[in-house]
Amino acid sequence: MMYKSEVYQEIRAAAAAMQPQLTAIRRDLHRNPEPGWTELRTSMRIARALTDMGCDEVLVGEAVCDRDSRLGLPADEVLEAAWRRAKGTDPVFLPQMRGGMTGVIGILHCGDGPVVGLRFDIDALPVTEADDPAHIPAAEGFRSKIDGVAHACGHDGHTAIGLGTAKLLCRLRDHLRGTVKFIFQPAEEGVRGAKAIVEKGHLDDVDVLLGAHLGGEPGRRIDAVGVGPNRTLATTKLDVTFRGKAAHACLVPEAGNNAMLAAATAVLNLHAIPRFGAAPTRVNVGRLTAGSGRNVICDRAVMELEVRGLTTEANDYMTAYAKRIVQAAAEMHGCTCGISLRGEAAGDCNDSDLCQTVMTVCRDRLGLSVEELQDEPRGYISEDYSLLAARVRAHGGRSCYFKNLTACTAPIHDPRFDFPERALVTGVTAFAGLTAALLEEKK
Ligand SMILES: [Zn+2]
């Protein structure tokens, strides 16, 4: 049995020694990126790795996501094409993932104690990766081999960090008291995947939830764990279909119901929703397609919109207002409308006392540089980790979402986004060390 200080020392040393392995995993995922709900190869590799390292339970398919709570699913043809690419490569896990049932949860049982959830997102983006020699993945031969899809948000790194952390904690399990859940979440982009994991109940017994994102400016000199309010915007993504009635635009225009007019009325009024006093809000209609030809009254219009708010309350206000506008605009022009939820995230997700613990453990026990982040309104984004956190906090649990700061080459989602792979070691050290601290044996 090691002393506690030796456990932390072991974690630091083992994480550092894992660098070549972490780099190899990350590069393999980087070359084979898969967008949300098509992460079949990725999920299969995660499931296989967790099984090989001795995780007590490895959940895939129906056991991970509530089928009907998956948001923003791609078309069936897209899901089937992904299936055709992946099928035959694994007889055990893959068949359970067909039809967009991606994502993996590994569980490590180490006796009585708290339940710690660690969340890693695994999906890629519809971005064409840069192909010039200054971009390291291109120069070193691990650029995305799939046209128009790339890991431009570092989730390849997050996945590698998750697997490294799981491997290390499996090895150190005799020093842990409690349960660890390794949650490999699909479809973070567009905030689509978290809800299905929440609705399956995986967060209901989690006492502490941790998550992180790679980030940092190009010129940055020191890698660090960034901890602070890390406030995120609650958001709701909606698709709206307006249905009207076609008619000859000259002969009998009065016989039609103009879906384009309904949609246009909605667009202008959505952007005129009154501001919310207690918190900043956002609204955007990002896409509108309508009509079939010049001399036909339009009978169908499809719109993609989103609202956001710094608090869940502010976002709820925006969502309710937006739905009312859409419905009223449809009615105004004698049309009907269907509204479907395509993505969702909650507001705030960090507990300040847990943030303090994260800072102390990272700095004092793990020897990592720690940066205390200030609340930065210009940096607000949305992250569906917040939905997992909201469920944990609803029953009295705590959450901390921190940043793995390093010298990234470009902002996230940019075709040139890349990060120094030493940040993988920082990530494993932080996640494994924090879990060890939270599940410390009581003596
Ligand atoms: Zn991301």
235 in Cβ contact with 72 (< 8 Å):
no
Q: From ligand 1's centre to the CA of 83, what distance in Å? A: 24
Q: From ligand 1's centre to the CA of 72, what distance in Å? A: 17
User: What confidence score (pLDDT) does residue 339 get?
Assistant: 98
The tokens describing 189, both together, are 């982009």
- 3 state SS of 419: coil
Q: From ligand 1's centre to the CA of 306, what distance in Å? A: 18
The tokens describing 435, both together, are 């879990």
User: What confidence score (pLDDT) does residue 1 get?
Assistant: 57
Q: How far apart are alpha carbons 211 and 198 in whole angstroms? A: 15
244 in Cβ contact with 259 (< 8 Å):
yes
Q: From ligand 1's centre to the CA of 418, what distance in Å? A: 12
pLDDT digits (tens, 9 = 90+) for 289-307: 999 999 999 999 999 999 9
pLDDT band for position 441 (50/70/90)? Answer: low
53 in Cβ contact with 46 (< 8 Å):
no
Q: From ligand 1's centre to the CA of 238, what distance in Å? A: 20
Q: From ligand 1's centre to the CA of 120, what distance in Å? A: 10
Q: From ligand 1's centre to the CA of 334, what distance in Å? A: 41
184 in Cβ contact with 120 (< 8 Å):
yes
Proportion of the chain above pLDDT 70, given as a percent: 99
pLDDT digits (tens, 9 = 90+) for 92-149: 999 999 999 999 999 999 999 999 999 999 999 999 999 999 999 999 999 999 999 9
Strands 208-215 and 115-121: parallel
Q: From ligand 1's centre to the CA of 353, what distance in Å? A: 25
Q: How far apart are alpha carbons 22 and 167 in whole angstroms? A: 11
Stated length of the chain: 443
pLDDT band for position 162 (50/70/90)? Answer: very high
Region 368-384: mean pLDDT is 91
Which residues make up the environment of ion ligand 1, defined by Cβ < 5 Å?
153
Which amino acid belongs to residue 297?
Answer: I
49 in Cβ contact with 93 (< 8 Å):
no
Reply yes or no on whether the pLDDT at 9 is more than 70.
yes
Reply yes or no on whether the pLDDT at 197 is more than 90.
yes
Which class in CATH covers the domain with range 4-232+348-438?
alpha beta
| Mean pLDDT score across all residues of the chain | 96
Which amino acid belongs to residue 130?
Answer: A
Concatenate the DSSP letters of all residues of 91-120 into one string.
SSSGGGGTTT---EEEEEEESSS-EEEEEE
User: What confidence score (pLDDT) does residue 3 get?
Assistant: 67
Q: What pTM did the predictor assign?
A: 0.95
DSSP, res 292: S
Q: What are phi and psi for residue 213, nearest 5 degrees? A: -130, 140
- 3 state SS of 405: strand
Q: From ligand 1's centre to the CA of 189, what distance in Å? A: 7
Q: From ligand 1's centre to the CA of 86, what distance in Å? A: 24
Q: From ligand 1's centre to the CA of 182, what distance in Å? A: 17
For the chain, the structural domain boundaries read 4-232+348-438, 234-345
Q: From ligand 1's centre to the CA of 155, what distance in Å? A: 6
User: What confidence score (pLDDT) does residue 442 get?
Assistant: 57
- 3 state SS of 331: helix
Q: From ligand 1's centre to the CA of 386, what distance in Å? A: 13
Q: From ligand 1's centre to the CA of 213, what distance in Å? A: 7
Name, in order, each residue with C-beta under 8 angstroms of 369's C-beta and a sequence gap of 6 or more. Answer: 222, 223, 224, 225, 363
Q: From ligand 1's centre to the CA of 375, what distance in Å? A: 19
pLDDT digits (tens, 9 = 90+) for 28-46: 999 999 999 999 999 999 9
Q: From ligand 1's centre to the CA of 23, what distance in Å? A: 19
pLDDT band for position 5 (50/70/90)? Answer: confident
Q: How far apart are alpha carbons 29 and 18 in whole angstroms? A: 17
Q: What are phi and psi for residue 242, nearest 5 degrees? A: -95, 135
> Among 3.30.70.20, 3.40.640.10, 3.20.20.70, 3.30.70.360, what is the CATH number of 234-345?
3.30.70.360
Strands 234-243 and 300-309: antiparallel
User: What confidence score (pLDDT) does residue 303 get?
Assistant: 98
Reply yes or no on whether the pLDDT at 89 is more than 60.
yes
Q: From ligand 1's centre to the CA of 299, what distance in Å? A: 38
Q: What are phi and psi for residue 425, nearest 5 degrees? A: -65, -40
